[in-house]
């Protein structure tokens, strides 16, 4: 599912300014996903900023990005029970073979009533694809500022690194909701 204009423009601009500033603390991470064979290529890397993981606050900017979950509730009617992980990902322009892209397939969490949301911080290229299995594309989401793609955390998906823009910046949320999802 896709939510366009998730946030008021002032908040979307504030988040974009923060994550695109020279002062924002990005850390190098040796893999784009936790699945697949990360030894196949030295291209499988990204820069990350961890806001929270397993209930442990990791960033002074957590409150700002956690507010996106309130807006998710507003647009969907779901009630967020807890944030399991919130992190920002910055991937840079790369050209990948189909084999390399296939190795980015993963799911975020195989737990009941958990959703994943990808918030697009700025306009870019590098779609997010979800799959009904490891072969058939189910949905394709293009990075458009202030939009958010969401799906079950157990769903297989993958990012596509940008080919045109210099970078693709997203905030990735994994959270539990009170409602049963099937």
* Distance separating alpha carbons of residues 51 and 106, to the nearest angstrom: 21
Q: What is the CATH number of the domain that holds 119?
A: 2.60.120.620
Predicted confidence band of residue 40 (pLDDT cuts 50, 70, 90): very low
Q: Is the pLDDT of residue 125 over 80?
A: yes
Q: Is the pLDDT of residue 150 over 60?
A: yes
Q: Residue 36's pLDDT is what? A: 43
* Distance separating alpha carbons of residues 108 and 85, to the nearest angstrom: 10
How many distinct structural domains can be found in the chain? 1
Classify residue 42: in a domain, yes or no: no
Q: Which of 158, 150, 145 is nearest to 72 (CA)?
A: 150
Classify residue 167: in a domain, yes or no: yes
Classify residue 108: in a domain, yes or no: yes
Domain that holds residue 133: 2-21+47-177
15: helix, coil or strand?
helix
What would the pLDDT profile of 44-66 be if each residue is shown by its tens digit? 789 999 999 998 999 999 999 99
**DSSP state letters, 34-88:** SSS-GGG-TT--EEEEEEEETTEE--TTHHHHHHHHHHHHHHH---EEEEEEEEE
Q: Is the pLDDT of residue 129 over 70?
A: yes
Predicted confidence band of residue 104 (pLDDT cuts 50, 70, 90): confident
Q: Is the pLDDT of residue 92 over 80?
A: yes
pTM across the whole model: 0.93
Q: Residue 42's pLDDT is what? A: 57
Classify residue 38: in a domain, yes or no: no
């Amino acid at each position: 599912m896709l939510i366009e204009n998730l946030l008021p423009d002032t908040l979307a601009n504030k988040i974009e300014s923060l994550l695109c500033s020279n002062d924002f603390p990005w850390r190098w991470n040796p893999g784009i996903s936790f699945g697949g064979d990360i030894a196949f290529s030295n291209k499988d890397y990204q820069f990350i900023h961890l806001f929270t993981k397993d209930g442990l606050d990791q960033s002074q900017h957590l409150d700002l990005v956690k507010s996106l979950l309130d807006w998710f509730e507003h647009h969907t009617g779901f009630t967020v029970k807890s944030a399991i992980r919130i992190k920002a990902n910055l991937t840079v322009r790369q050209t990948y073979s189909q084999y390399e892209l296939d190795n980015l397939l993963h799911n975020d969490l195989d737990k009941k009533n958990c959703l994943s949301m990808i918030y697009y911080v700025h306009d870019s290229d590098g779609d997010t694809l979800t799959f009904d299995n490891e072969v058939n594309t189910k949905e394709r989401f293009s990075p458009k500022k202030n939009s958010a793609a969401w799906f079950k955390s157990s769903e297989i998906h993958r990012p596509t690194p940008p080919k045109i823009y210099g970078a693709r910046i997203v905030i990735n949320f994994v959270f539990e909701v009170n409602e049963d999802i099937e």
